[in-house]
Chains A and B, each alone.
Chain A
């Protein structure tokens, strides 16, 4: 947990990342930045999906509709926070010359998206008359 707190501090402190190790090739930093942006787009797509569930499935029962929308929105928030955390960790690892951090998050997110997709199929087929 203290590792996480230190990472959160790094999110806000521009100097601290640059204080460690040496500056990597700018192309590696830019590649890291693009990966961060790709994750941010994923987060924005999940948020858009939350809005879409709310608006384009108006015949669903309130509970199902709001539940699915909030699940997608929560996944979007997690994805965005994880994007910046992973970016900081990668940037630091590159500066120190360490291996890039590995992560369970992509597998976790795939599972969540799959579960939400299956739930939506079931809900649309069964709960339409709400």
Chain B
């Protein structure tokens, strides 16, 4: 952008990578809330083998989500001009969310 020759990666005055990084953080927080509610529902509605299995699946989805977010956050903070999000990465995050919802539907039922 500017003509300054900087040895370190050039800082974007709009802080776009940082804002995107924080957006990922907020999203993992939302996912954590959903996962905590899943665990709470199992604890309150009686522990059976099926409900424990579904709860474990929810936790796996949440962990996968955290891992994907962590990888993207690392990319965003490592370079001054991060590459665009890969479609596979976005799809994987969405599939984690959908799987979480599927487990939730099974738990509610």
Judge whether B27 and A40 touch: CB under 8 Å.
Answer: yes
The verdict on A11 contacting B91 (CB below 8 Å), with A29-B85, A33-B84, A47-B100 known, is: yes
In the bound assembly, the distance between CA atoms of A48 and B93 in angstroms comes to 17
Judge whether B19 and A34 touch: CB under 8 Å.
Answer: yes
Judge whether B84 and A23 touch: CB under 8 Å.
Answer: yes
In the bound assembly, the distance between CA atoms of A55 and B27 in angstroms comes to 23
| A79-87, A97-105, A110-118, A120-128: which lies at the interface | A79-87
Number of interface residues of B (CB under 8 A): 41
Judge whether B108 and A54 touch: CB under 8 Å.
Answer: yes
Judge whether A26 and B16 touch: CB under 8 Å.
Answer: yes
In the bound assembly, the distance between CA atoms of A23 and B41 in angstroms comes to 46
Which residues of chain A are within 8 angstroms of B98 by Cβ–Cβ distance?
Answer: 77, 80-81
B60 close to chain A: CB less than 8 A: no
Between A10, A73, A83, the greatest number of chain B beta carbons within 10 A of the residue's beta carbon is seen for: A73
Which residues of chain B are within 8 angstroms of A36 by Cβ–Cβ distance?
Answer: 85, 90
Closest chain A residue, CB of each to CB of B105:
A73
Is chain B's binding surface mostly helix, strand, loop or mixed?
A: helix
Binding site for A on B (CB under 8 A): 12, 14, 16-17, 19-20, 23-24, 26-27, 30-31, 33-34, 37-38, 40-41, 44, 81-88, 90-91, 93-94, 97-98, 100-102, 104-105, 107-109
Number of interface residues of A (CB under 8 A): 44
Judge whether B108 and A50 touch: CB under 8 Å.
Answer: yes
In the bound assembly, the distance between CA atoms of A123 and B31 in angstroms comes to 28
Which residues of chain A are within 8 angstroms of B20 by Cβ–Cβ distance?
Answer: 30, 33-34, 37
Judge whether A77 and B101 touch: CB under 8 Å.
Answer: yes
